[in-house]
Amino acid sequence: MKILADAHIPYLKGVAEQFGEVEYLPGNQFTREAIKEKDALIVRTVTHFGEEILTGTNVKLICSATIGFDHIDTAWCDAHGVAWRTAPGCNAASVEQYVTASLLYLADKYQLDLTKKTIGIVGVGNVGSKVDAACNKLGMRVLLNDPPREENEGPGLFTDIETIQREADFITFHTPLTKTGKHKTFHLADDRFLSSATKRPFIINAARGGVADNQALKRAIHNGNIAGVVIDCWENEPEIDRELLQLADIATPHIAGYSADGKWTATKMSLENLNKFFNLSAENIHYQEIPSPLNPIINLQGIDSGHQLQHAVWHTYNPMKETTALKSSPEKFYWFRSNYPLRREYRAYTVFHADDKILQILLSLGFNEK
């Protein structure tokens, strides 16, 4: 079997070869010519797969090592016999780590007590559910909005979007990007939405750029309708809006899901999809190990209890380093994504000397205790 894989999918090289002949190319160098003779593609979100690239090729399966699939023209693929698979939930915990680290940053910068704040979560799937759990552990009041789920599961858990606009101090989006249908999410956060947000909330978008109208975000910051923004996903990546970049409290190059744990799981799920689709019956697949973090021990001795939580979370992931780097070199957006350093989730870290109350929060988030 002939496979073409994105060269920037970690933990794949030397492993995918157990399934066939594998060639690697950076995602932005995939062409119709390059994929023509391939049976399967293992891809990322940086390449668009539709009629223009797939017509006349031999491709039978596209495995995206990602949660999102708005880079695949699924209608065209379904109509033309090209199967596609994704890796649901693979990096949901990584996005939760990103949102938690960002909330702690905003709280620190603007002197906010998160236990007295309300967060509205729009889209409560794999990621939104994890963000919900984390925000509860931080002691926040959480409002959940997910009309498709509410239609299926009934009311009770969910609230309407107007309540979130009225009551939330933070609004975080975790929906897919959809441009049609009853629950389409394209420009969900537009001028109207943002000007109806009464508590001057912070807006967080680590879903997809198009979920929040980037021009409307700038207007809302300028006219004071919102207090600030945390943006990981942008319209027109990698050519992102430079003014919005400078205005953002946290601005990152679409890496919220880039924990090594998430990448490893995405690779594994992609290969499992390949194995199943082609009935390869491969057993005892050899996977690479996820490297340990450089400093897996977090010693909180001497840190006052008011700062222990942020210290521990930022030890695992600090969004400010990436914000500074992106603000000074926005032209390196694609490079930052292709050369991402090792980042581990909480479970790879052990905390020492945490105060009792903080320790309980850290353990519930997934840290280990010595």
Ligand X SMILES: NC(=O)c1ccc[n+]([C@@H]2O[C@H](COP(=O)([O-])OP(=O)(O)OC[C@H]3O[C@@H](n4cnc5c(N)ncnc54)[C@H](O)[C@@H]3O)[C@@H](O)[C@H]2O)c1
Report the interface residues with ligand DEZ, using CB under 6 A. 44-46, 66-68, 91, 257-258, 337
Min separation Cβ 91 and ligand DEZ, Å = 5
Choose from ligand X, ligand DEZ, none: what does 148 bind? Cβ within 5-8 Å by kind: ligand X
Binding to ligand X by residue 40, rule CB under 6 A? no
Q: For residues 164 and 358, which CB has a smaller minimum distance to ligand X in the complex?
A: 164
Is 160 within any annotated ligand binding site?
A: no
Binding to ligand X by residue 217, rule CB under 6 A? no
Binding to ligand X by residue 39, rule CB under 6 A? no
Q: How many CB atoms lie within 10 A of CB 182?
A: 8
Record the tokens describing residue 345, joined without a space. Answer: 């989730």
| Stretch near ligand X under the rule CB under 6 A, chosen from 173-181, 285-293, 317-325, 348-356 | 173-181
- C-beta separation of 203 from 229 below 8 A: yes
Min separation Cβ 44 and ligand DEZ, Å = 3
Is 258 within any annotated ligand binding site?
A: yes
The catalytic residue among 254, 315, 337, 343 is 254
The dihedrals phi and psi of 187, each to the nearest 5 degrees, come to 50, 40
The dihedrals phi and psi of 331, each to the nearest 5 degrees, come to -70, -10
Q: Comparing C-alpha atoms, which of 159, 142, 104 is closest to residue 320?
A: 104
Record the tokens describing residue 254, joined without a space. Answer: 């679409």
Choose from ligand DEZ, ligand X, none: what does 241 bind? Cβ within 5-8 Å by kind: none
Applying CB under 6 A, among 8, 208, 263, 344 the residue interacting with ligand X is: 208
| Stretch near ligand X under the rule CB under 6 A, chosen from 18-26, 90-98, 317-325, 351-359 | 90-98
Residue keyed to tokens 């799937």:
125
Applying CB under 6 A, among 73, 96, 146, 241 the residue interacting with ligand X is: 146
Q: In what order do the strands lie in the sheet with 368-369?
A: 297-299, 350-352, 368-369
The question of whether 208 is a catalytic residue gets the answer: yes
Record the tokens describing residue 146, joined without a space. Answer: 């997910």
Min separation Cβ 283 and ligand X, Å = 29
Rounded distance between C-alpha atoms, residue 231 and residue 207, angstroms: 9
Per-residue burial over 68-89, b if 16 or more Cβ lie within 10 Å, else e, is bbbbbbeeebeeeebebbbbeb
Helices 319-328, 92-109: axis angle to 10 degrees equals 80
Choose from ligand X, ligand DEZ, none: what does 337 bind? Cβ within 5-8 Å by kind: ligand DEZ
Binding to ligand X by residue 257, rule CB under 6 A? yes
Is 232 within any annotated ligand binding site?
A: yes
Choose from ligand X, ligand DEZ, none: what does 22 bind? Cβ within 5-8 Å by kind: none
Rounded distance between C-alpha atoms, residue 6 and residue 23, angstroms: 9
Catalytic residues: 208, 237, 254
Where is the binding site for NAD(+), in residues?
Answer: 146, 175, 232, 257
